Structure 1
Amino acid sequence: MTTNDLPVIAAVDGSTHSLRALDWATREAVRRGLPLLIVHVRPLTRQVDEATGRREADELLAESVRRSALIAPDLRPSTLAPLDFPSAALVSLGRDASMIVTGSRGLGGFRSLMIGSNSLATASMATCPVVVVHDSRTDESEEPGTAGDFTDIVAGVAADESSEAVLRFAFATAASRPGARLRIVHGWTMFSSMLAGGPVLDRQAAAGAAERTLAELTSAHQGTYPGVEVEREPVNGSAARTLVTASATAALTVIGRRRGGESLGLGLSPVAQTTITHALGPVAVVPC
Structure 2
Amino acid sequence: MSGDDLPVIAAVDGSTHGWEALDWAAAEGLRRGLQLVIVHVRPYTGRTDAESDVREAEELLGEAVARTSRSAPGVPVSTLAPLDFPSAALTSLSRDASMVVVGSRGLGGFRALMIGSNSLATASMAHCPVVVVRTGRADGSEAGPPGPLNDVVAGVAADESSGAVLDFAFEAAACRPEARLRVVHGWTMFSSMLSGGPVLDREAASASADLALAELTAGRGESHPEVEVVREPVRGSASRTLVTASATAALTVVGRRKGGEALGLGLSPVAQTTVTHALGPVAVVPA
TM-score range for the pair, normalised by the shorter chain length:
over 0.9
Match of 1:200 in 2: 199
Match of 1:128 in 2: 128
Equivalences for residues 1-288 of structure 1 within 5 A: 1-45=1-45, 47=47, 49-137=49-137, 140=140, 149-262=148-261, 265-288=264-287
Q: Percent identity?
A: 72
Q: TM-score, normalised by structure 2?
A: 0.96
Q: TM-score, normalised by structure 1?
A: 0.95
Q: Please give the per-residue CA displacement for 1:8-49, whole angstroms capped at 9, x wherever unaligned.
A: 000000000000000000000010110000000000135351
| Distance (whole Å) between structure 2 residues aligned to residue 140 and residue 113 of structure 1 | 15
| Distance (whole Å) between structure 2 residues aligned to residue 195 and residue 185 of structure 1 | 19
Which amino acid letter does the alignment assign opposite residue 52 of structure 2?
T
| Distance (whole Å) between structure 1 residues aligned to residue 147 and residue 74 of structure 2 | 22
Q: 1:173 offset after TM fit, Å?
A: 0.5
| Distance (whole Å) between structure 2 residues aligned to residue 158 and residue 263 of structure 1 | 23
Q: 1:46 to 1:31 in 2, by over 3 A?
A: farther
Q: 1:204 offset after TM fit, Å?
A: 0.6
Q: SS where residue 135 of structure 2 aligns? A: coil
Contact 1:40 1:61 (C-alpha < 8 Å) held by counterparts:
yes
Contact 1:137 1:248 (C-alpha < 8 Å) held by counterparts:
no
| Distance (whole Å) between structure 2 residues aligned to residue 61 and residue 263 of structure 1 | 29
Which amino acid letter does the alignment assign opposite residue 70 of structure 1?
R
| Distance (whole Å) between structure 2 residues aligned to residue 132 and residue 202 of structure 1 | 39
Which amino acid letter does the alignment assign opposite residue 286 of structure 1?
V
| Distance (whole Å) between structure 2 residues aligned to residue 66 and residue 261 of structure 1 | 35
Deviates more, 1:225-234 or 1:43-52: 43-52
Q: 1:135 offset after TM fit, Å?
A: 2.6
| Distance (whole Å) between structure 1 residues aligned to residue 128 and residue 57 of structure 2 | 25
| Distance (whole Å) between structure 2 residues aligned to residue 201 and residue 142 of structure 1 | 48
